[in-house]
Chain A
């Protein structure tokens, strides 16, 4: 017995050949986030103070700024892919699903751009 629908059979398109791309990028960003997350958590824990001057001085250091940009980029890309899967799994109606996916994409891209811009503004000031 073939599980292919008559419509699918008539179209004869097959797969889009991108089936593993989403899965793979989710894993690539996950591996990148292993060292970045450890660095982020322990750097914040070791910050001597949460005062404006101390934190600005910390972010402005080139090594910190680069690591923060990488962390924000990888984390938000990883989050974008994860939230997409959750929406696709749990939002049933097609209209609400597309609206939620669009909202998620826009919020993630805005957050990523804003976060990276903020780090660069401080680092390059």
Chain B
């Protein structure tokens, strides 16, 4: 571990502990936290895919028909299921974050309970959404 740079002109300020490394053992709550970031980052690329789909739709049938077979192929479906789960996970955990912003559910037992809730609900709703999608096609 490198020591922070110090000099006479810069007082040594307290550093927040690093979450990744030997200082914290992985916990369910911290794993959900990093998953919130990862799904958020992934959804930024999902937004670009959505915009590409809409721009192709607006450009005409040729452009649209060039990309849709990729989205309905097995790898496209895997990607879309992953985006659906990422969106629903970020949605559920985002509501958990908004509750924390209101000062509710911050104690550890509740945070762990709502964490499991986020995992179960995001997977269950992803399954329900795809069951609905495949039933209406």
Contacts and interface: CB of A to CB of B under 8 A. Distances in A.
B65 interface: yes
Interface residues of A, number: 45
A79 B133 contact: no
A39 B87 CA distance: 13
Contacts of B57: 52, 55-56, 59, 118, 122
B77 to A, nearest CB: 11
Contacts of A44: 133
Interface hub of A34, A45, A76 (most chain B Cβ within 10 A): A45
Given A83-B44, A114-B51, A118-B57, A45 B130 contact: yes
Contacts of A59: 54, 57
Contacts of A115: 47, 50-51, 54-55
A119 B98 contact: no
B5 interface: no
Given A5-B11, A6-B9, A72 B132 contact: no
A37 B64 CA distance: 24
Interface string B17-61: 000000000000000000001001101100110110011011001
Given A50-B68, A86-B37, A5 B9 contact: yes
A30 B13 contact: no
28 contacts: A3-B13, A5-B10, A5-B11, A6-B9, A27-B101, A30-B94, A31-B98, A33-B94, A37-B91, A41-B84, A41-B88, A42-B132, A46-B136, A48-B137, A49-B137, A50-B68, A50-B71, A52-B61, A56-B57, A76-B47, A79-B40, A111-B47, A111-B48, A115-B51, A115-B55, A118-B51, A118-B57, A119-B58
10 pairs of A and B residues whose beta carbons are closest in the complex? A118-B58, A115-B51, A118-B54, A45-B133, A79-B44, A121-B58, A45-B132, A118-B55, A52-B61, A111-B51
